[in-house]
Amino acid sequence: MKKKLVLLLAGMMLLLSACGGNNSGAETADVDLQEYWESLQETYEWDDNYMVNIEDEMLEGYYPGLKEIAAKQFLAKAPMMSAVVNEIVLMQCETEEAAEQAAAILQDRITTQAEGGAWYPESMEAWGRGSVIQQGTYVAMIASAEHQDEIVESFNALFQ
């Protein structure tokens, strides 16, 4: 009897792990985006005087329509003054459809900046490497000249 129960549980675990590979279904993780942001601040030594919140008119100017999307969690950060591209948006939407809408708006920001909005060739190149990532209802826009690949990797690791 114990052997059958163990085999049954092993089979169920295998089935669940096979289904878990698709991030378009149920959430694979419950992620605290504020905690994740704080880990980025610590890792890259960004203090509160370097990265500030993008709010109000600036939020609408950078990401038209984003504030109309219902969000459970939302952070948008950029340097107060810097010639280095470093802009991060972290968002958990109410639904996957809302996350898709947010991803489209954030991708528009990257495209606009990469195609001349960032003015300087180095900045446009950095924006061209920017990423929008959707993991279920979670969305991230990462545009970081210095830490792009590492931040993308760490964000994706939150869902594994």
Residue 58 forms part of a structural domain: yes
90 in a domain, yes or no? yes
How far, in Å, CA of 75 to CA of 128, rounded?
22
Q: How far apart are CA 59 and CA 158, in angstroms?
A: 26
The β-bridge partners of 141 are 89, 132
Instruction: Take residue 145 and report the two structure tokens written for it.
Output: 């000249």
Domain count, the chain: 1
- For residue 67, being part of any structural domain is answered with yes
Q: In what order do the strands lie in the sheet with 51-53?
A: 51-53, 71-79, 86-93, 138-144, 131-135
Examine residue 88 and state whether it is found in any structural domain, yes or no: yes
Range of the domain at 144: 25-157
pLDDT (average), residues 124-137: 98
- Indicate whether 5 pLDDT > 50: no
Residue 15 lies in a domain: no
- The 10s digit of each residue's pLDDT in 35-94 is 999 999 999 999 888 999 999 999 999 999 999 999 999 999 999 887 889 999 999 999
pLDDT attached to residue 69:
98
CA atoms within 13 A on the CB side of 120: 8
Identify whether 3 is part of a domain: no
pLDDT at residue 28, rounded to an integer: 56
Mean pLDDT of the chain: 86
- Identify whether 147 is part of a domain: yes
Length of the chain: 160
Q: Quick check: is 9 in a domain?
A: no
